[in-house]
Structure 1
Amino acid sequence: MPSELAWAIWLLPLAAFVVIVFITKPYPRISGYISIAAVLASLVISLWFVAKVYNSSDHHVPVPSYHWLTVGNFSLDIGLTVDSLAAVMLVVVTTVSLLVQVYSQGYMHGDHGYSRFFAYLSLFTASMLGLVLANNLILVYFFWELVGLCSYLLIGFWFDRPVAAAAAKKAFIVTRFGDLGFLIAILALFMSAGSLDISFLNDWVKAGAAGSLLLTWVALGVFAGAVGKSAQFPLHVWLPDAMEGPTPVSALIHAATMVAAGVYLVSRMFFLVDATETGREMVAYIGGFTAIFAASMGLVMFDIKRVLAYSTVSQLGYMMLAVGLGSPVIAMFHLLNHAFFKALMFLGSGSVNHATGTFDMRLMGGLRKAMPITYGTFLVAALAISGIPPFSGFWSKDEILAHAWEENRALFALGLVAAFMTAFYVFRLMFMTFGGSYRGGEQGGHGEHSSHPHESPWVMVLPLAILAVPSVISGFANLPGLNWFGRFMGEDHFASFNWSTATASLIASLAGIFLAYLMYQVKVVPATALPRLLPNIYKAMYNKYGFDTLYENVFVSRVLYRGIFALLGWFDSTIVDGTVNGVAYLPVGVSSVARRIQSGQVQAYGMAIFMGILVILAAFLLRG
């Protein structure tokens, strides 16, 4: 295959989007097949490029670029970068997208927007693949914003539901604040370096051509964009509400596309983050805090998808922590593992919803026997995210904690507490959903047989079974001593296995699982213990620490509406409209003066001529 075929990786899903919108929209099943075929072809091409990158000495496959435009001395070429970082993301995006789309054929069956749904999925996938492959920041930003637009369309897919429409707007608006920082960073880089080619910027920074203050602010601007997309504190508020979209959308957003884009961006632009100590510390501390902050809210939620949403925010915090500690390779390793087990968990939650008609875990229970495949695969994902060996999450999370132990003990402590919380809320979910006896479900939604739940159709459980395999074995890709993943990524130094941190992490996870077992399975410890003993803390966590209320009542209502928007309204009505009206009134004023001059009296005209002659004579006399 020629290297130019890299363009087809993102153009194929884009072509599927165009075909579905303009040709096959009236034929839902055909639309689904076209979308699946396109992403399958992208996956095959991506795997070929993975092999090419693996066999190359510099972990890079050159792809020809094309001249786009010239403005003065500025020339812009557009091209693609296929290196080890891009190759990993290509496999993650195409694999998860393919399985999500197969699953969606069962989950979205009968929905009146079936073709529109697959068109959006194709555009979403194409946008993320374009973002991964782009070799300059103009293309990156274009696809970055396109990913945000697609998330808006998919979260608000059921736009006739007010709560879904509100969630879509919230996601779109909140992420714009982070994107503004990213845009400012791009403009600052262009004004300073004169180029937006990422490889050029890498060399420019490493050559010491940029000042430390500039690099600090640019790094923080790039990180601001990542904070918005990856739902890190304080721009985390949009992600839990994004659960109002269809469950396959949640799986794609949380596992392989939008939220992964933030981690990918800081990994791709790590040369900026690594250039300043302030940048690295900011990324590390925001990531570490977000990991424990989001995990604490997952402890008390009852909506299964919201528990998983806060889990995603927390796990992304782990990844940001790894980047901030100086190891984007470890962050990408955890992103790889997380993509598989988190997609499995979200699709598993959709399978449960398909049977019970609800996402409320208080109405579930006893599904272990009714849905054995969903239960078994979900258990694999739960063990993986909890960090239980030999499942995938253990190996990547242990590397992050081991690195934190060496670099910053405070951040290690945050990660360890987050590990305990993660295991607790995940197995709280498991015991409430699959343990005990069935509590009735809820009629409506996708719950066709909520009174007698049974296993989902094969088109839905097959992706679960496939995702369960990498959830077990993908962690072996970077086993200590072998370090296949690290070598593929071009890592020079390989971390050895740290028995102390691994043991501490495992004890924390087992303690969380055991406490969840005591509270929600055998019920030796009452589930009401936390709200009874620590009511204020429980209320704060359940109310998301008041951030939604704070942003809505203070920032949106007062700062934006009564402050900035009111000021803009005054500026528009007074300055802009005043200027326009003033221009209109000027001829009226001039004409009124002119009317007075044209009085029709000959004496007045004679006096005006006489005065004019006197002025001219005075001017000549003064000059002489």
Structure 2
Amino acid sequence: MNLELLVTLGVFAPLLGAAIVGLSGRRLGNVVSQSITTGLLFFSCFVAWTVFSQWTWGHLAPFTVTVAPFIHVGDFISNWSIRIDALSATMLVVVTSVSSLVHLYSWGYMAEDPDKPRFFAYLSLFTFAMLALVTAADFMQLFFGWEGVGLASYLLIGFWYKKPSASAAAIKAFVVNRVGDFGFALGIFTVFWMFGTIQFAELFPMIADRANTGWEFLGHTWSALDLAAFLLFIGAMGKSAQFFLHTWLPDAMEGPTPVSALIHAATMVTAGVYMVCLLSPIFEYAPVAGQIVAIIGAVTALFAATVGLAQNDIKRVIAYSTCSQLGYMFFAAGVGAYEAAMFHLFTHAFFKALLFLGAGSVIHGMHHEQDMRKMGGLWKLLPITYAVMTIGTIAITGLGIPGIGGLAGFYSKDIVIESAFAAAASNHSPIGLFAFFVGIFAAGLTAYYSWRLVFMTFHNKPVWKEEDGHAHAHDHHDDHASHAQIETHSEPIADDHAHDDHAHDDHHHHGPLKPHESPWVMIVPLLVLSVGAIFAGMVFEPFFTGHHENEFWRGAIFTAPANHVLHEAHGVPTWVKWSPLILTLIGTFAAFWIYVVKEGMARRMAERGSVIHAFLYNKWYFDELYQFVFVRGAKAVGDLFWKVGDEKIIDGGGPNGMAWLSRKFAGGLGRFQSGYVYFYAFVMLLGLAGFLAFAIYSWGA
């Protein structure tokens, strides 16, 4: 079969599955619906790996398939196209691999849910939107996919829509992303204003010649390219949950765990990183915007890592870990190491999906309990889940020996940190130095909270045994807030299946709730992802950032002639190479000491109610700050316009005012309608007298 046709079928296969199951799922039944969507996703995955392998080892040339006209309005021309190059081939593999495994995993995790066709249709719709995004050949299709994943994520996060917290989380994700998308749209407008085209193939060659284009505003001349790049990055901040626009990410854990893996591991949240790397020709000639990207990325990496230290919900810990790792990717792109950013995106997809799905296996085995303080001692009862989550933890912490090797995260995280140092050394950039030190410090924090999760969940004393014989009936939509708060500042635990229409048969036990291993349909995806978490870095490091880097990227990523950051990253001093490992070991030992050797120490520290613990536990109080400034502020402004502007001024002086005058006037006239003849004769006499007086006066005048 022709490769172009195969790629087209692979991109549209998830849409076909979503349409069939979304429209006819109830008639088809659960098994047929799941089989259609999952089968089509595995077909897309096969196509993606075919393209990626031919690109990596077969020297496939880049090509673009024009499927159909999209929008043609004057000079604004957009065709629905499928672009294949190193970037899109990499993202095709990432998206379809994780999505197909999530589909398979959901067969077990969602086995008791009555709305499985709707869930699988949403998953497939989300995947199609991501494929449309990563294969876009112009800004219009990119924006279509961008908004498509936003819509699908809203549907997935709020899948249990009768659960108030899930509906609120879905709305929050949608609204926060609209803030970023507004900036993204303005960035597209600016690009079209500057260049008169939104086609990447036409746009990129023109950028160098117009790099000095100015924009007059408030009496100053601003760099138009910096402005465009900054506005586009605002979109990335929203989609990839970067600092200031990150607040939707932890709340998105209200969706089912497979959704968390799909959205937060490899797809939606990485769209921003992909977009910045795709637009490297713009960011290379927009140095100020690049510095902003690096700063925001570094701050996000630090912020999310600190917050992750104090969370107790197993999914929230991994969610903040995702936020922190995205920060690494962004500061790598900000210092000019786009290849390193994409490499970390690639490896991160495997070990983060592994951790999220592993957490889902724990939640499933613990009868939908998510509070790590109510776990412990699970390694004997969930041995496979324990093994794969340990692999994922080693991968994300980047444990490895320089010059020898390690798991996937070791290769990608180290080259990101080394690139930041190289940027600081070669360009004398304080921002690069800031990103470097933040990177190694966040590596220590990552090791601490990652191993904290493992020790609290799988080691220590089995806390769950204290609740033997107690029935965990999670069939009320507000039950997730009823858990005993066994530490100060305890958060309500989001129950994946706390939905009155999704009560599961195994939720009503009259004996001990003994944890159990997950079924094989959930275990197999974990084993496959474990292979990626172990070998993805070792196998693909030469292609993404090593000696085959130029052959692999083949112009898909543009670097200015003065940008030698990636090349110089390989020659950094020895102490730079060893710094991440040293901080990682310190973080690992600290977690082991506090949660294993001195078990109970962390609980006692939390009970003291320290200011630092409260600050980190409450996520730097961003939600409270935004609630006060934006939510209440917007409500106050709305009330002002509504109650004063609309009701008192517009309605009071307009329709309501005229109605009041008419009512008063009619009331006065109504008094004349007494019903007595003598009263009417008296009025007529007065009228006649008045008329005669007026006539005499007029005649005399």
TM-score, normalised on structure 1?
A: 0.88
Paired residue secondary structure (2:198): coil
**Structure 1 partner of 2:528:** 466
**Structure 1 partner of 2:452:** 428
Paired residue secondary structure (1:368): coil
Structure 2 counterpart of 1:455, from 517, 521, 524: 517
**Structure 2 partner of 1:567:** 641
Per-residue CA deviations over 1:304-341 (Å, capped at 9, x if unaligned) read 00000110000000000101010111111001111100
Distance change >3 Å, CA 580–CA 185, structure 1 → 2: farther
The separation in 1 between residues aligned to 2:603 and 2:256, in whole angstroms, is: 31
Structure 1 counterpart of 2:628, from 548, 553, 556: 553
The separation in 1 between residues aligned to 2:536 and 2:364, in whole angstroms, is: 28
* Structure 1 unpaired stretches of 5+: 589-624
Superposition map of 1:8-407 within 5 A: 8-26=9-27, 27-54=29-56, 60-64=62-66, 66-208=68-210, 210-211=213-214, 213-357=223-367, 358-389=369-400, 390-407=406-423
Deviates more, 1:563-572 or 1:29-38: 563-572
Per-residue CA deviations over 1:346-379 (Å, capped at 9, x if unaligned) read 1011100111120100110011111110000000
Would the aligned equivalents of 1:205 and 1:272 in 2 still touch at CA under 8 Å? Answer: yes
The separation in 2 between residues aligned to 1:53 and 1:135, in whole angstroms, is: 18
Structure 2 counterpart of 1:478, from 528, 541, 552: 541
TM-score, normalised on structure 2?
A: 0.79
Distance change >3 Å, CA 567–CA 301, structure 1 → 2: same
2:563 is the counterpart of 1:488? no
**Structure 2 partner of 1:618:** none
Structure 2 counterpart of 1:542, from 617, 625, 634: 617
Distance change >3 Å, CA 93–CA 579, structure 1 → 2: farther
State the AA in 1 paired with 2:449: Y
The separation in 1 between residues aligned to 2:26 and 2:518, in whole angstroms, is: 27
The separation in 1 between residues aligned to 2:648 and 2:204, in whole angstroms, is: 47
Paired residue secondary structure (2:160): coil
The separation in 2 between residues aligned to 1:96 and 1:15, in whole angstroms, is: 19
Per-residue CA deviations over 1:374-409 (Å, capped at 9, x if unaligned) read 000000000000011211101111001111112222
The separation in 2 between residues aligned to 1:569 and 1:167, in whole angstroms, is: 29
- How far off is 1:203 after superposition? 1.7
Would the aligned equivalents of 1:4 and 1:64 in 2 still touch at CA under 8 Å? Answer: no
The separation in 1 between residues aligned to 2:280 and 2:413, in whole angstroms, is: 20
**Structure 1 partner of 2:667:** none
Paired residue secondary structure (1:67): strand
Distance change >3 Å, CA 274–CA 529, structure 1 → 2: farther
Per-residue CA deviations over 1:44-100 (Å, capped at 9, x if unaligned) read 111222244336768512323543454334433332211100000000000000111
State the AA in 2 paired with 1:379: T
The separation in 2 between residues aligned to 1:10 and 1:144, in whole angstroms, is: 15
Paired residue secondary structure (2:137): coil
2:591 is the counterpart of 1:516? yes
Per-residue CA deviations over 1:160-197 (Å, capped at 9, x if unaligned) read 11111111111111111011000111112222221111
Would the aligned equivalents of 1:53 and 1:61 in 2 still touch at CA under 8 Å? Answer: no
State the AA in 1 paired with 2:410: F
Paired residue secondary structure (1:367): coil
The separation in 1 between residues aligned to 2:309 and 2:57, in whole angstroms, is: 45
Paired residue secondary structure (2:79): strand
Paired residue secondary structure (1:370): coil
State the AA in 2 paired with 1:539: A
- How far off is 1:199 after superposition? 2.2
Paired residue secondary structure (1:429): helix
The separation in 1 between residues aligned to 2:385 and 2:57, in whole angstroms, is: 38
The separation in 1 between residues aligned to 2:373 and 2:607, in whole angstroms, is: 19
State the identity %.
42
Paired residue secondary structure (1:80): strand
Would the aligned equivalents of 1:9 and 1:129 in 2 still touch at CA under 8 Å? Answer: no
- How far off is 1:111 after superposition? 0.3
Deviates more, 1:9-18 or 1:432-441: 432-441
Deviates more, 1:570-579 or 1:136-145: 570-579
Paired residue secondary structure (1:456): coil
Distance change >3 Å, CA 143–CA 571, structure 1 → 2: farther
Would the aligned equivalents of 1:287 and 1:319 in 2 still touch at CA under 8 Å? Answer: yes
Would the aligned equivalents of 1:52 and 1:61 in 2 still touch at CA under 8 Å? Answer: no
The separation in 2 between residues aligned to 1:207 and 1:529, in whole angstroms, is: 62
Paired residue secondary structure (1:81): strand
Kindly indicate which of the two structures has a greater share of residues assigned to helix: 1
**Structure 2 partner of 1:501:** 576
For CA contacts below 8 A with separation 6 or more, give which structure has more relative contact order: 2
Per-residue CA deviations over 1:575-624 (Å, capped at 9, x if unaligned) read 98799969x99xx9xxxxxxxxxxxxxxxxxxxxxxxxxxxxxxxxxxxx
- How far off is 1:159 after superposition? 0.8
* Structure 2 unpaired stretches of 5+: 215-221, 401-405, 424-431, 475-496, 498-503, 560-565, 663-701
State the AA in 1 paired with 2:394: L
Deviates more, 1:118-127 or 1:252-261: 252-261
Count of aligned pairs: 590
Deviates more, 1:265-274 or 1:456-465: 265-274
Paired residue secondary structure (2:601): coil
State the AA in 2 paired with 1:315: Q
Paired residue secondary structure (2:223): helix
The separation in 2 between residues aligned to 1:84 and 1:579, in whole angstroms, is: 64
